[in-house]
A and B are shown apart, each in its own frame.
Chain A
Amino acid sequence: MGITFRKETFRDDYTFRNSPEHIRRFPFPFNEDSYMYAVNIEPHVVGPKGSVLENLIDVDEHYVAEMQDRALVLAEDPLRCQSLPHMTLAGWDLLELLMEQQALGYPEHFTLTRDGDRWRWINRPLGIDDTFTFGDTSTLPYGPMEYITRQSQGDFCILDQRDGNLWMDAGMVTTQADWSLDFDIGMNFFEWHAPVPLAHEKGIFIRALKFLTNIQQGKPARRLNWTMTINPRLDTSPENYHKWGPDRATVTPENVGDKVHLRVELQSFWRLPRSNGIVFPIRCYLIKMDELVTQPKWACRLHRVIRDLPEELATYKGLTRYRPTLVEWLSKLDDGSPTSPGFGPD
């Protein structure tokens, strides 16, 4: 059957939309009526059919449009994709992982055939049919990481593990929520999380690092994170703050439903076999309020979550300016009745 890829934009006229089936599979991140920080890491295993976890690397109706948007970002700013010289092997690891997973999950769209080191990759949605030698960079139009991540949804941070620490030594980052690869490249785990203000927070980071350096091959893990974005803009980088920052002042009671988007990141963590590096794919899902509230349970729950969010958290997530408008708008859809347990819509 296959996916029907949408023609849409994440900038200028913002034609991005979710189809009704995609609204129902949206990875809604709240399983109760309030939000608490938690170390919500779990094994990254295949989930229910029809969900974004049906395959470990998800491809959806936005695939083609997202890849076009990525190409635009890279044309403007090539530094969104960087790989230090010792990370080429990890790039091949990632290429193998993504080709394997995409071909496995979506055989009607992607095909990988291997004859020893001679590999053939067919990507039908993007019209690509390339034969190359695995391990030989000169046989691809880009380095292995750039080649495959120009064809894979989500951002990718590749970390080198040495000295009991992780180093952000390669990445393709064009759909980030306000951080910059060019700034973080070459830093270790503590450096890119700096400044860490409080001692007890430092303890959390040490535990997180210990967890990540122990990620095992064949046993990926995942977590969800969320924030909100005005307009369906994928690229909310610090470099482009002047373009998206002011949008936060444009929310009115009339346009909340169309402008305010819940942005959910599905982060997964994988050990790479040849390089022994770790890759974090950070997959971004967007949904506008008008779409989200087509599921009454989500409308009620989101209202309560946003209304009760502690002030510091709201500030941290950049919601302060438009929170009252949003809460007011959502409150009209909340009849106060209890919501069913779990993340999914009713």
Chain B
Amino acid sequence: MSTGTTKLDVVVSDVAPVNDLVTRFHFRRRDGELLPTFSGGAHVVVEMRDGDRTRLNPYSLMGSPLNTSEYTISVRRDDVGRGGSLFMHRSVKPGLEMVISYPVNLFSLDLRARKHLMLAGGIGITPFMAQTAQLAGSGGNFELHYTCRTASLGTYADILQQRYDRRVKLYHDDRDERIDLDRLLSTQPLGTHLYVCGPAGMINWVRDRAAALGWPSETVHFEHFAAPQPGAPFDVALAVSGKTIRVGSQQSLLEAIEAAGVDPPYLCRGGVCGQCETNVISADGKFIHNDHWLSEEDHRSGCKIMPCVSRFEGKSLVLER
């Protein structure tokens, strides 16, 4: 099987600023046909041609799955990140032709749930935009708790409240409003599933409390928005393809492997799906594992690495690629 997903040729049909940090992008198919149907929680990988380098970033689809005439994503500007979000904000204009992947869903609703309890932090609201639209369209039972720094940075909070009224509860950091998590988690009806998307700290907090309060792990769903972290450059030998490459400080290992003309598999580019898992043949140095896929034991053994998010510091690294 070849790697990655099937691609879609799209054109940017609209770019709309949402607030100081977030911009929304709309895509339509270049051939005018409908886009593939998707399910709430799905993402697409957007290819960005930035000069001679190609960046591939995943973004959640936030439109209603019932509308396949266009896809919409929201991008939060990250001034200290590796530049993908800045590229989107600065260089992507209506009319630009781009390539995106087919939708992939690594954060799908559990349709057995009697109730869907959703917790969003910041830009982590985007998958819930699609999920709430999907559930509202089919009479599903949901409740959304959304924390944001300030009211003006509450991306889509107004729209959500208009659409779903009391099913949406907002919390603003600057007003010291905090989710009473233990109370919320201990008063849910049987058959509730919990979904959380936001910063890593929030996800860990929610998962820990849910576990402590006796929620079975299969009822707790989460999605990390783990972008690859920048770091010191390092060299890697690829044993199968016989190449030696340098991973730049703003580049991920996966991107460097791709830039060398090797085509490794991936789906999420965020350290969660497991597709890019690669065997380490030899290493002299220290791994910086940023993934959520490998077990702690795998991390300690140093025999495997997830090139989409993980880095290395040291003398030498040889991978089976």
Contacts and interface: CB of A to CB of B under 8 A. Distances in A.
Contact of B36 (A43, A89, A214, A217): A217
B37 interface: yes
B267 A273 contact: no
Given A214-B267, A217-B102, A217-B104, A162 B218 contact: yes
A273 B37 contact: yes
Interface string A125-144: 00000000001000000000
Contact of B102 (A42, A87, A219): A219
A135 B275 CA distance: 33
A161 interface: yes
A89 B103 contact: no
Contact of A216 (B65, B104, B138): B104
B274 interface: yes
B39 A276 contact: yes
A160 interface: yes
Nearest to A85: B112
B111 A86 contact: yes
A220 to B, nearest CB: 10
Given A86-B112, A214-B267, A274 B1 contact: no
Given A219-B6, A274-B37, A214 B275 contact: yes
B229 interface: no
Contacts of B1: 41-43, 219, 221
B57 interface: no
A218 interface: yes
Nearest to A165: B218
A210 interface: yes
B36 A216 contact: no
What bracket does the count of chain A residues touching chain B fall in? 20 to 34
B138 A218 contact: no
A275 B111 contact: yes
A115 interface: no
B114 to A, nearest CB: 10
Contacts of A89: 111, 138
Contacts of A41: 1
B275 A273 contact: no
A273 B38 contact: yes
A274 B273 contact: no
A163 interface: yes
B110 interface: yes
A216 B106 CA distance: 11
B23 interface: no
B39 A216 contact: no
Query: Taking chain B's interface residues, is the majority helix, strand, or loop, or is none over half, making it mixed?
Result: loop
Interface in B1-37: 1-2, 5-6, 36-37
Contact of A276 (B36, B108, B273): B108
B36 A273 contact: yes
Counting chain B CB atoms within 10 Å of each CB, which of A87, A221, A274, A276 scores highest? A276
Given A214-B267, A218-B5, A218-B102, A275 B110 contact: no
B5 A219 contact: yes
A87 B41 CA distance: 18
Interface in B28-55: 36-39, 41-42
B250 interface: no
A277 to B, nearest CB: 9
Contacts of A161: 108
A41 B1 CA distance: 8
A99 to B, nearest CB: 13
Interface string A50-88: 000000000000000000000000000000000001110
B161 to A, nearest CB: 26
Interface in B130-186: 134, 138
B278 interface: no
A274 B65 contact: yes
Interface in A100-141: 135
Interface in A153-212: 160-163, 210
Interface in A286-314: none
Interface in A220-258: 221
A218 B36 contact: yes
A312 B173 CA distance: 67
Contacts of B102: 216-219
Interface in B237-278: 267, 273-275
A216 B5 contact: yes
Interface string B98-116: 0000111100101110000
A84 to B, nearest CB: 8
A162 B274 CA distance: 15
Contacts of A162: 108, 110, 218
Counting chain B CB atoms within 10 Å of each CB, which of A41, A42, A93, A275 scores highest? A275
B112 to A, nearest CB: 4
Contacts of B6: 216-219
Contacts of B42: 276
Interface of A: 41-43, 85-87, 89, 93, 96, 135, 160-163, 210, 214, 216-219, 221, 273-276
18 contacts: A43-B2, A86-B111, A86-B112, A162-B110, A163-B217, A163-B218, A214-B275, A216-B5, A216-B6, A216-B102, A216-B267, A217-B5, A217-B6, A217-B36, A218-B36, A219-B6, A273-B39, A276-B41
Given A43-B1, A274-B39, 12 more contacts: A86-B110, A86-B112, A89-B111, A93-B37, A135-B138, A163-B218, A214-B273, A216-B6, A216-B102, A217-B38, A219-B1, A221-B1
Leading 8 A-B pairs by shortest Cβ distance:
A273-B37, A218-B6, A86-B111, A276-B108, A218-B102, A86-B112, A276-B105, A163-B218
